[in-house]
Amino acid sequence: QVQLVESGGGVVQPGRSLRLSCAASGFTFSSFGLHWVRQAPGKGLEWVAIISYDGSNKYYADSVKGRFTISRDNSKNTLYLQMNSLRPEDTAVYYCAKGPVAAAGTGWFDPWGQGTLVTVSS
Amino acid sequence: DIQMTQSPSSVSASVGDRVTITCRASQGISSWLAWYQQKPGKAPKLLIYVASSLQSGVPSRFSGSGSGTDFTLTISSLQPEDFATYYCQQANSFPLTFGGGTKVEIK
């Protein structure tokens, strides 16, 4: 079955960096666009970024543009999110999710990983 | 950005009740809408995509309708496992955006 497993979360000071990973299995990883979506504690869902099947196209939410970088390694079936210049408002559970198509297109998220918590605090 | 507004923000219902949740987009999104269910401490789960297509494995008591700016998620007969928070999401344009959520609670 399709499985996504995030890792790399933790507590980090404001202004520092963190890299999240998402290991995928159960589907042809290199054939689908992939997303990061986050959820602040007790809050709703916020889309963060998408990357196309081959990594050639990427889109970001304005709230993270210029600070976060989405990437993928198709040889390792792994998605990444490099987060720089972290702010307290970036504190959230970060989910990776599979898109329905290869392109970095709009669409829905299915399935989702279990999430990894990032806490930005001094 | 397209704003998604869900109502109500919470609803109290009993097992067997029919529950309807609405989602309104700030501009037309055709049928590019998805619905998710999220239980506490868990990741969201896709229920409905393209406004009315039931995701594989999702019980038929869930249904979606609408197009343009107004959409509805209906649970025809609420079951104990359906108590959760539900989110709509527009899939029409970037940035992809979600509604604020509707919490379905036990009456």
pLDDT, tens digit, 9 for 90 and up, residues B11-52: 999 999 999 999 999 999 999 999 999 999 999 999 999 999
Tens of pLDDT along chain A (122 residues) come to 999 999 999 999 999 999 999 999 999 999 999 999 999 999 999 999 999 999 999 999 999 999 999 999 999 999 999 999 999 999 999 999 999 987 778 899 999 999 999 999 99
In this complex, the residue of B43, B45, B91 whose CB is nearest that of residue A106 is B91
Name the strand (E) or helix (H) holding B101: none
CB contact under 8 Å between B89 and A111, yes or no, is: no
Are A49 and B103 contacting, i.e. CB atoms less than 8 angstroms apart? no
Are A56 and A50 contacting, i.e. CB atoms less than 8 angstroms apart? no
In this complex, the residue of B43, B91, B98 whose CB is nearest that of residue A113 is B43
Chain B residue at shortest CA distance from A117: B41
Q: How far is CA A84 from CA A6, A12, A14, in A?
A: 18, 11, 10
What is the rounded distance in angstroms from the CA atom of residue A100 to the CA atom of residue A31? Answer: 10
Shortest distance, CA B5 to any CA of chain A (angstroms): 12
